[in-house]
């Protein structure tokens, strides 16, 4: 089998926390009087909290010191975590649950590769703590996507080379990171039309067909 592992982005792939990121950034931007819409929000997918703040500030004439930026990022994160705290395992969609269970059943090694420092909290809210064989996230990387570090770390934790892992992404920065790391990428959502992706998914469960159609070892 070509793919022995699957590395999932978290926000927008496993859960709809990308919407909560939008709501929290929007509340902060409104308070500061900075224009912010879903188009600008889509540029924040996959990139770190501080880089996201820099992108938002660039669209205004506001100049902030590093200390002010840290305060603003903390304010956004508090708003975001208040939204995350409302999540329960019922927020895990049936499609995602079915896909994860089927992949596990098929014997694949499963990992998270996310830029988010809130990954452990989100997995706990979704009832997924302890489910994945490896979790590489914003807490263990120096460079966020589009740098491949988080996916390379996840593959290393799985004990697999990049060519044996398929990355699932909803962000252009994530597709770029996967390809830069030597991974095939299946893209969905915002990144679905990204030409660098090897596969396009309408729903996460489309992945099952890709895995199922892989060449199986011949039976003797």
Please report, as ranges, the residues that interact with ligand BG6 according to CB under 6 A.
10-11, 21, 44-49, 52, 77, 114-118, 138, 171
11, 137, 184, 194: the active-site residue: 11
Of 10-18, 48-56, 85-93, 193-201, which segment contacts Mg ion by CB under 5 A?
10-18
Q: Catalytic annotation on 11? A: yes
| Residue 170 contact partner, candidates ligand BG6, Mg ion, none, CB within 5 to 8 A by sort of partner | Mg ion
Residue 96's binding partner, choosing from Mg ion, ligand BG6, none, with beta-carbon cut-off 5 to 8 A by kind? Answer: none
Reduce the DSSP state of residue 146 to 3 states and report it: coil
Q: Distance (Å, rounded) from C-alpha 23 to C-alpha 121?
A: 18
Sign for the pseudo-dihedral over CA of 31, 33, 34, 39:
positive
Size of the site for Mg ion (CB under 5 A): 5
Residue 125 contact partner, candidates ligand BG6, Mg ion, none, CB within 5 to 8 A by sort of partner: none
Give the C-alpha separation, 84 to 87, whole Å.
Answer: 5
| Closest separation in Å from C-beta 95 to ligand BG6 | 19
Q: What are the DSSP calls for 68-106, one per residue?
A: HHHHHHHHHHHHHHHHHTT--GGGS-HHHHHHHHHHHHT
Residue 176 sits in the site that holds Mg ion (CB under 5 A): no
> Would you name the residues annotated as active-site residues?
9, 11
């Amino acid at each position: 089998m070509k793919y022995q592992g699957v590395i999932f982005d978290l926000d927008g792939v496993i859960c709809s926390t990308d919407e909560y990121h939008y709501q929290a950034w929007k509340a902060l931007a409104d308070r500061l009087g900075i224009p912010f819409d879903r188009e600008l929000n889509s540029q924040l997918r996959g990139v770190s909290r501080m880089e996201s703040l820099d992108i938002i500030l660039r669209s205004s004439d506001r100049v902030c010191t590093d200390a002010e930026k840290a305060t603003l990022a903390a304010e956004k994160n508090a708003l975001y975590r208040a939204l995350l705290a409302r999540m329960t395992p019922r927020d895990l969609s049936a499609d995602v649950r079915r896909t994860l269970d089927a992949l596990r059943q098929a014997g694949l090694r499963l990992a998270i590769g996310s830029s988010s420092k809130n990954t452990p909290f989100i997995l706990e809210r979704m009832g997924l703590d302890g489910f994945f064989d490896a979790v590489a996230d914003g807490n263990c990387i120096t460079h966020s996507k589009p740098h491949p570090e988080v996916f390379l770390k996840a593959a290393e934790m799985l004990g697999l080379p990049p060519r044996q892992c398929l990355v699932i992404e909803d962000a252009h920065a994530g597709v770029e990171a996967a390809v830069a790391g030597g991974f095939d990428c299946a893209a969905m959502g915002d990144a679905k039309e990204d030409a660098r992706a090897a596969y396009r998914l309408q729903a996460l469960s489309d992945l099952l067909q890709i895995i199922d159609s892989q060449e199986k070892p011949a039976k003797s």
